[in-house]
Structure 1
Amino acid sequence: MKYWLLLITAIPFWACNAPDQNTASLQRQIDSLQARINKAYKPGFGEFMSGIQVHHNKLWFAGINQNWALADFEINEIKESLDDIRTYCTDRPETKSIGMIDAPLQNIANAIQQKNDTGFKSAFKVLTATCNTCHQATQHGFNVIIIPSLPPFSNQEFRLQDKK
């Protein structure tokens, strides 16, 4: 009985100390996957900002045409891009300044939800000024954003369409 008890007690210790033959194989798989992750495409800060600029433009034309559904879509696209910057561009110091845009975006979102034309225009001006303030703060003051005068695309209708 004594030997059985000793044997039962010793087996877990022996099993824990036994070399794992799969460790090297698993490590190779981890290294291979890490190499693939390191080579995966990751949009840069500029790509995100270019997308935001397009959505900023489209947001303006949707709002001034009181196409609130499109305006809501565009404001959410901007928010999504800013979230992506926060996720994928953590190595860029500019990312730390992105938060200054949150309140102006929320003010526009509120105006859109209320279908408030005057509130939208006012909030959009503040948003545009905040973009420029951020650019100044991050040493990108050469990138000046304005209220758009022309739609970004000639193949999109921004006026609200009659439902027939």
Structure 2
Amino acid sequence: MREEDSLSSRKKAIRDMIEAAFGREDAPNASSIVDSVYPEPLQIREYFSGKSWWTLTLKGFHDDYTGDPSACLTFMTPVGMKYYLPAYLVMAVESYYEGDVLTLELSSRMRSYIFEDSMYELSSLSYSKKKAVAKAMSFIWQEYADEEAREALDIMGRFWGAEFSC
């Protein structure tokens, strides 16, 4: 099997794991995604309102979102963060370099999201969701040599348990 075929099959396996873990629930209502009156968070709420996580694409962000797409999760409530995180994971696994700041910054931001659990509540993710997050971060670290993904895995190990670390 050619190396490219193997890479494609590994990406697909991670996508399948993320999709199985996070499912296809309806998008949360807009006020549950972002709870703020400031312009940037309001722009985020408007963009994400009514969108299912699995319909988000790099092209959509590029064509339709005027802000910094890598910062969107940062402004979300725990409900919004936990709902839209799988879209970011899939985009980073499948289009790491093409996604520019949206995908290249995810590992760095994941360190904060996990460390700042009182704000984002990612520790309340189910076991299967945590495993999917860890699998995506592990792939990003190994395939793209993203040291911040390894650091995110170390933090997952400290906060979620050793089985989620590198």
Provide TM-score, normalisation by structure 2. Answer: 0.28
**Which structure carries more relative contact order (alpha carbon 8 Å, separation 6+)?**
1
Q: Point out the structure with max Rg over C-alpha.
A: 1
Q: TM-score, normalised by structure 1?
A: 0.28
